[in-house]
């Protein structure tokens, strides 16, 4: 498995270091600027992991609340972007865990549409197959797949974001892909 080329423009223009420093020192205006600049990327990430708009919204919100709370502890401001993604992944995980305890799950509109399509006998596209397969995976595996395949993060960055050794990132990615393959195969088997 070779190292992948990182896609660009996924996150947006780089945030000025001075803005980060000001936010670390408690400047809420500076942090608000950061929130507005990164909300889209964080929301996209939490959506991709959770597959549920309501959850994604909560997780994105929690991401920035946690970021504001923890920002002063950020030791390497130059790694702010990776750090923010880590916070987002953790927020998604926490949200998922909290949701798992709910008795009634909110059904996102996209899921309703997909279910309606399936009920009508419409062939499912790859996105729908992927959506169904991802839903069966633990959120940790979803996160690493999303970071790699959607965000285009290479292994080294996965390791940084997830705070794990690169070898571990590699094995976790491998395991996640295998689990995804099994889930897709299982799903396709059921469809037949």
Q: Hey, what are 67's tokens?
A: 């970021």
* In contact, 142 and 95? CB cutoff 8 Å: no
Contact between 55 and 102 under an 8 Å Cβ cutoff? The reply is no
Footprint of another protein on 29-58 (CB under 8 A): 31-32, 35-36, 39-40, 43-44, 47-48, 51, 53, 56-57
Contact between 68 and another protein (CB under 8 A)?
yes
Binding segment toward another protein, per CB under 8 A, in 11-19, 62-70, 78-86, 115-123: 62-70
Binding footprint of another protein, residue count (CB under 8 A): 62
Contact indicator for 37, 15 with CB cutoff of 8 Å: yes
Count of CA atoms in the C-beta half-sphere (13 A) of 23: 24
Question: How many whole angstroms separate alpha carbon 80 and alpha carbon 25?
Answer: 14
Contact call for residue 106 and another protein (CB under 8 A) = no
Question: Among residues 81 and 93, whose Cβ is nearest to another protein?
Answer: 93
Per-residue mark of binding to another protein, 143-182 (x: CB under 8 A) = --xx--xx----------------xx--xx--xxxxxxxx
Q: Are 124 and 191 in contact (CB under 8 A)?
A: yes
In the DSSP assignment, the letter for residue 14 is: P
**How far, in Å, are 5, 13, 14, 153, 171 from residue 8 at the CA level?**
9, 10, 11, 10, 25
Closest contact distance (angstroms) between CB of 53 and another protein is: 6
- What is the distance between the alpha carbons of residues 182 and 184, in angstroms, rounded to a whole number? 5
- Contact between 26 and another protein by CB under 8 A: the answer reads yes
Contact residue for another protein among 22, 79, 110, 166 (CB under 8 A): 110
Contact residues for another protein (CB under 8 A)?
A: 1, 26, 28, 31-32, 35-36, 39-40, 43-44, 47-48, 51, 53, 56-57, 60-61, 64-65, 68-73, 93, 96-97, 100, 109-110, 125-127, 129-131, 138-141, 145-146, 149-150, 167-168, 171-172, 175-182, 184-185, 188
């Amino acid at each position: 498995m070779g190292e992948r080329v990182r896609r660009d423009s996924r996150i947006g223009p780089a945030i000025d270091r001075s803005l980060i420093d000001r936010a670390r020192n408690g400047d809420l205006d500076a942090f608000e600027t950061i929130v507005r600049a990164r909300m889209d990327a964080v929301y996209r990430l939490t959506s991709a992991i959770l597959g549920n708009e309501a959850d994604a919204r909560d997780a994105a919100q929690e991401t920035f609340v946690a970021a504001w709370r923890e920002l002063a502890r950020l030791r390497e401001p130059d790694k702010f972007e990776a750090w923010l993604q880590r916070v987002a992944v953790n927020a998604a995980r926490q949200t998922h865990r909290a949701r798992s305890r709910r008795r009634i799950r909110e059904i996102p509109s996209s899921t309703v549409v997909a279910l309606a399509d399936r009920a009508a006998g419409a062939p499912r596209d790859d996105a729908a197959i992927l959506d169904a397969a991802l839903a069966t995976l633990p959120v940790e595996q979803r996160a690493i797949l999303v970071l790699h395949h959607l965000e285009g993060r290479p292994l080294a960055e996965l390791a940084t974001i997830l705070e794990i050794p690169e070898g571990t990132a590699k094995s976790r990615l491998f395991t996640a892909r295998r689990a995804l393959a099994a889930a897709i195969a299982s799903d396709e088997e059921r469809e037949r």
